[in-house]
Chains A and B, each alone.
Chain A
């Protein structure tokens, strides 16, 4: 589908879209996208664990029966930071396998026309060449620290393909790189790099202390703003016809270093204190580049929100919603 004005062109189709994990980082962004651009003949239903325990087949069945969705965006998952993953590999594996199996199987049984699930670049093979692309997901074992979570996510792709081969279902998946935005998990133990920096700068500013960034700041990462990811996921839901996953990310040219990211957050939050880089801490991998060639082939003119603006919006949200933000 050709893009116009850099915006993803959308096909009009009457639909009732069920979004699981609707209150999380990505779910909230989809909510925003849908509210900004409501389409006639479209009904969007955002659900969370309050509405149904998706590890339970009967509860999931009841959810599908209640809403009769024609489409599903499946974002719900048991997620956690490094420490939780290390300790509870089994729970991460079992709960996510069950959630995904319940959602996909009930989507099939209830005649859902399209189901888009969410993978992650962290599930790719630990030993790999770069840039990583969609064809490499199953080419070797994932990093050992979160193997339960990673294999459960990988099985979404296996299950999608199985449903396509056996039943012709159009179930597919997306693979975002590092997502950030409002409604993230800003917990310093469990959260990811951007929310961690935002929270740290906020605290340093409030307590009049230096900001300490772990490592040298030189590793480079691709970040995708949740709002952009949401726009792309809605496009995938409506117009992406493959069963194979698609990486959703800015290009390699838009990678930024952790140092640059920290500086942008410092600017956005108007932090005037000292910034220290604790070089005794590990940098992790220098680059983990994911190729967005497939996305660019489909949407050559899609424009990502400039990172400065995206980080400003995220920092402002955190500051205004400090009391209720997950931390």
Chain B
């Protein structure tokens, strides 16, 4: 009988696949990892979730499953994003408590922070004001994970915690141009431009700066959090401010990785969005001063290569 049985929800997604990679590279004796997805259980349904926990009797949980969407879906379906995520999260946390799970790590996001805020953002600022209205359903549901973690700890002493990644990217991402995020969007756009021999257009001036975290690095850190991080309060998982890159630099890395030699245009009529959204990774640095993130160029190359070689299964 395994001493540690880890249930990973949302395991077929961007982060889940990276956790699978990390675990397969470093198998530990006495550990059993169970990767599940919607095919195994509809987590919005309490009975189905309970049956899943009953079947696997996990000692630990990494909870990545969520209903997510791009800007348009978020704006159109706030009820669904709010309710489905509230239900999923409550079902997973409640059953984690019911089945005596020793540690449950859930996944938040920097996009749920207060819309009006100072920078850099820190973990303590999560609830200091309302989130951006465009995704308020999703944001409030995610914030409630932190509330529920604290309530479970206060009433039952449960060790439920959460992580807050900045922009994640990697293989198995959603490369859809409508719904996806900036990195997979650039990759898909350049792929199409290269294939169709058309120019590649970047929206905005390219000056906006962002912190990106490779899914593989995030996965390593999430596994560390599950094993060693003892706080209930969330922890931001991100490269430091010095590693921020501009959208222009990012585009150039992708262009190089994909060997795109066509024309590159910057449509400066399109909005840049916020110039900087810096998240502070001081807490992480306090715990792991020597953690080395994968070199950005290499991470981009691996992601690009995966996308090019997996056109049949890539979500787009």
User: Chain A: residues with CB nearer than 8 A to chain B?
Assistant: 87-91, 93-94, 97, 101, 105, 108, 138-141, 147-148, 151, 155, 158-159, 161-163, 165-167
Contacts and interface: CB of A to CB of B under 8 A. Distances in A.
Contact of B147 (A87, A108, A148): A148
22 contacts: A87-B155, A90-B148, A90-B156, A91-B155, A93-B147, A94-B94, A94-B148, A105-B83, A108-B79, A139-B128, A141-B128, A147-B151, A148-B147, A151-B144, A158-B137, A159-B79, A159-B82, A159-B83, A162-B78, A162-B79, A165-B78, A166-B77
A124 to B, nearest CB: 13
B98 to A, nearest CB: 12
Contacts of A93: 147-148, 151
Contacts of B90: 94, 97
B155 A166 contact: no
B83 A148 contact: no
B118 to A, nearest CB: 14
Interface string B47-63: 00000000000000000
Across chains A and B, which 4 residue pairs bring their CB atoms closest together, nearest first? A90-B151, A162-B78, A90-B155, A166-B79
A165 to B, nearest CB: 5
Contacts of A89: 150-151, 154-155
B127 interface: yes
Say whether chain A's binding surface is mostly helix, strand, loop, or mixed. helix
B152 A90 contact: yes
Given A90-B148, A140-B128, A161-B78, 4 more contacts: A93-B148, A94-B148, A140-B129, A162-B78
Contact of A162 (B82, B94, B129, B144): B82
A87 B155 CA distance: 6
Interface string B109-132: 000000000000000000111100
Interface of B: 75-80, 82-83, 86, 90, 94, 127-130, 136-137, 140, 144, 147-148, 150-152, 154-156
Contacts of B137: 158, 162
Given A90-B155, A94-B94, A101-B86, A138 B129 contact: yes
Given A88-B155, A162-B82, A151 B129 contact: no
Nearest to B154: A89
Contacts of B77: 166
Contacts of A108: 79
A93 B90 CA distance: 11
A45 B284 CA distance: 55
A167 to B, nearest CB: 7
B147 A147 contact: yes
A88 B154 CA distance: 8
Given A101-B86, A166-B80, A138 B151 contact: no
Nearest to B137: A162
Contacts of B130: 138-139
B155 A158 contact: no
A88 B155 CA distance: 6
